A and B are shown apart, each in its own frame.
Chain A
Amino acid sequence: MIKRHLPFATVAVIALVAAPLLLEPFRLGLLAKYLCYAIVALGIGLAWGQGGMLTLGQGVFFGLGGYSMAMYLKLNEAGPGGLPDFMVWSGVEKLPALWAPFASPVFAVGMAVLGPVLLAVLLGTLVFRQRVRGAYFAILTQALAAAMVILLVGQQGLTGGTNGMTNFFELFGQDLADDSTQRGLYLVVASVLGILYLATRQLVHSRYGRLLVAVRDGEDRVRFLGYDPALVKTVTFAASAGMAGLAGALFVPVVGIISPALLGVVPSLELVVAVAVGGRHALAGAVLGAVVMGYAKTAFSEQFADGWLYLQGALFILVMTLAPKGIVGVVGRLRRARTT
């Protein structure tokens, strides 16, 4: 029992105690950003690694969460009756009706999760019932990400267009530029990731997790066991969408911006690559992949700005051909080799 929880406990102590003490605020902020991505990756690990649904459009859900949060922050800054800065610049004179409820932080945070979940349920119900799967599902989700970007860019006055939304100064009365606020945010992000990780792990080890693997490996057979695979997939996809939405909502105050460039096709793909590199069949692999690839991207881009894209592509090919189970798979193999 203790042995099983030891790796998680160690990582939790490092993340919650050591990192805030040792890292300078800038690096801690970066880590918080990677952990936000790790939450999305966890959802991808669940949907893809366990459920076989290759979702190339998690950016959509991440974006819905991010924009919900950003709308609240913007309205909070503008004050009662005020307009967000970008609306003033675009010549909008009256607050759009869509925006009004986001003045409530409860509504905004609720929608950050519920919006993605509802969209995923709608999409899943339409798509999985028609038995759309495999590459077709992947392409569909990718198209959704592309469409989302077009929609956001086109609605300049409503969404801030290409620039998105930025210049957030305050969250629940705390100054966002303050180091202690950022440290607090980091702890929130790390805790949310930890809780979601434990919950997802519980789910994967439960009967539902077995059912999900069965759906991945033999959807038709599962149907003849009396289960509705479309329902199982929809629920799982919705859970992963909810995680991405929550991650988006946390991302905005941590990083200070949300824009179409952060949630389109490329960022969605990058996360899938990260999950593959970490090891998609293990939840820890998904989380690890997101953090490692996040760090690698920062470190690499600081040295050679354009080289990262090629390195990332090469890494993906390398992992897929040589170590399909990712970093976690390689570590597992080394450990087994040492014991035998």
Chain B
Amino acid sequence: MLELRDVQVVFDGFRALDGVNLTVPEGELRFLIGPNGAGKTTLIDVITGLTKPAGGSVRFGGLDLVGRKEHQIVRLGVGRTFQTSVVFEELTVIENLDLAATFRQPLWSLARRRRGISEAVEQALTRTGLEDLAERSAGVLSHGQRQWLEIGMLLAQRPKLLLLDEPVAGMSKDERERTGELLTEIADDHTVIVVEHDMEFLRRHASTVTVLHEGKVLVEGSIDQVSADPRVQEVYLGRRKAEDAVGNRP
């Protein structure tokens, strides 16, 4: 379904991605890990059209994504979230979801008021468990709830491929758990790629893991295979303490 071949991204001489090959078949839940600066978010940016690759190809469902605008890629069925969640604070939870759900409607048809709740919005609301907050403005939501709302907005768009960038970063233990459940549920009927730092979360929920390092794919396999790999231990797990001290992505 998603196929990246020899993708190159260069920022001011720095090779953020240096020939990445990645294939994600339909229906898979794929985790993307790697030390800070490994190029995880850049990879997502390339798929979603935010960053233009210097070379290589990105194919999704047989279509070339390189050179398409962000909103066109979304219309092909690729949705994403960001590290820092961006919900529209002045709109209510329902309005946020509704805005996401109506993206395929022609602009003129939006000049009417929303009446009731569409099926897609209803489903997204139930799945994310935000029913009680439906009429509240998104500005009052907690960090965790915002992330769920973002995921809900994605779901309301019924995408084929979801890209989640660190969905549990900054979440409490309970919130992580709920997000994990939500993720497993979503993965049942969607293809999902998750960028995640949190190893415990990975062990609990990951099936297939791709490890990125210095802009290249280092290893790919199940979580046990990956964590047993000496190269991974060296570049990633072995350096975890130092990384935690440095903090998140530069």
Contacts and interface: CB of A to CB of B under 8 A. Distances in A.
B110 A218 contact: no
Given A210-B95, A221-B86, A224-B48, A203 B111 contact: yes
Interface string B86-112: 101111000100111011100100111
A206 B70 contact: no
A257 interface: no
The DSSP consensus for interface residues of chain A is: helix
Given A224-B79, A225-B157, A207 B89 contact: no
A208 B48 contact: no
A225 B74 contact: yes
Nearest to B48: A224
A231 interface: yes
A217 B90 contact: yes
B103 A227 contact: yes
B71 interface: yes
Interface string A201-234: 0110111101101100110110111111001100
Contacts, number: 74
Given A213-B90, A217-B90, A225 B103 contact: yes
Contact of A208 (B86, B104, B111, B157): B111
A312 B80 CA distance: 47
Contacts of B153: 225
Given A224-B74, A227-B71, A231-B107, A206 B90 contact: no
B107 A235 contact: yes
A172 B100 CA distance: 50
Given A214-B99, A225-B99, A226-B74, A208 B110 contact: yes
B71 A228 contact: yes
A220 B49 CA distance: 12
A10 B153 CA distance: 41
Contacts of B88: 210, 213-214, 217-218, 221
B99 A224 contact: no
Contact of B107 (A208, A218, A223): A208
A217 B90 CA distance: 9
B203 interface: no
Nearest to A215: B88
Given A217-B89, A225-B153, A210 B99 contact: yes
Interface in A284-322: none
B107 A224 contact: no
B96 to A, nearest CB: 8
Contacts of B74: 223-226
A226 B71 contact: yes
Contact of A213 (B86, B91, B113): B91
Interface in B92-141: 95, 98-100, 102-104, 107, 110-114
Closest 3 CB pairs of A and B: A226-B74, A226-B103, A207-B110
13 contacts: A206-B111, A207-B114, A208-B107, A211-B110, A213-B88, A218-B86, A223-B69, A223-B74, A225-B74, A226-B71, A226-B104, A227-B103, A231-B107
